Amino acid sequence: MTKNQGSAYVVCGPTAVGKGTVLKEVFRKGANLWYSVSATTRPARPGEIDGKDYFFVSNQEFDELVNSGEMLEWAVVHKIHRYGTPRKPVEKAIAEGKIVILEVDLDGARQIRKTMPEVKQIFIAPPSWEELKARLIGRATECEEEQSRRLETAKIELEAQGEFDVVVVNESVADATEKILHILGISE
Ligand code: 5GP
C-alpha cells in the first residue's frame, strides 16, 4: 500500500458478543477510524438512526444496489434479512487514508477474504457459550424465535473462528478495546 492509502479491517463475531459496545469504545479512543455503514432490509430497532447505524432499505432498493454492482459484499444473515457493504464509500475512505472497519457476518468475511485478501480479519469471541447465551437473553431485544435463530448462526460462526487472522476474546470491554486498538496499530 502506498503511504497515503488507508487500510481496512473486517470485524466479525456472533450475536450478542458485544461487538457494538467494543467498537463504540474503539471509535471513542482511536483517531482516523471510519465505520462502514451497511445497508440492510432489516427494520430499524428503536433508537437506531438511518444513515448512522444502517441504511434501512426496502427489498427492491437492496436488489438495485446488488444488481448495479454497488455492494462490496452482501449476505442473508440469520436466514432472514439481507445486509451489505456499499462499495464506493469504502473505496473513498481507504483512498483518503482512513482506517476502515467493516463489521460483517461470516459469509461477508469470506467474500472479502477472496476479493480483498490484504484486509486483516478480526473475530470477536465470547468467553464461553453459556456467557453468550446469557448476554443474548439478557439484552432482551429479540423474541425467543429470533434468539434461537441467532444462536444457531452463532454456533456456525464460532466453529469458523480459526479462519480469522486474529481472535479477540471479549472478557471485558476495556480489554477487548485495547487489543483491537493494538491490532489496528493505534496506541492509546
Ligand atoms: P444486527 O441485525 O444485530 O444489527 O446484525 C446482525 C448481523 O449482521 C451482525 O452479525 C453483523 O455483523 C451482520 N452485518 C451487519 N452489516 C453487514 C454487512 O454489511 N454485511 C454482512 N455480510 N453482514 C453484516
Ligand 1 surroundings by CB, under 6 angstroms = 38, 42, 73-75, 77, 83-85, 103-105, 107-108
CA dist 31 → 20, 39, 105, 187 (Å): 18, 24, 25, 10
Residue 173 confidence (pLDDT) above 60: yes
Q: Which pLDDT score, from 0 to 100, does residue 79 have?
A: 79
Q: Which of ligand 1's atoms lies nearest the C-alpha of 153?
A: 10
CA of 12 to the centre of ligand 1 (A): 9
Q: Given this model, what pLDDT does residue 140 score?
A: 86
The 10s digit of each residue's pLDDT in 124-155 is 999 999 999 999 999 888 899 989 999 999 99
pTM equals: 0.93
- Helix (H) / strand (E) element for 135: namely helix 129-139
| pLDDT tens per residue, range 78-123 | 878 999 999 999 999 999 999 999 999 999 999 999 999 999 999 9
Burial, 157: exposed, middle or buried (Cβ in 10 Å; 0-12, 13-18, 19+)?
buried
167 pLDDT exceeds 90? yes
- Choosing from 38, 85, 88, 152 the residue with most ligand 1 atoms within 8 A of its CB, the one to mutate for a pocket test is 38
CA–centroid distance, 186 to ligand 1, in Å, is 25
135: left (phi over 0), alpha (psi -120 to 50) or beta: alpha
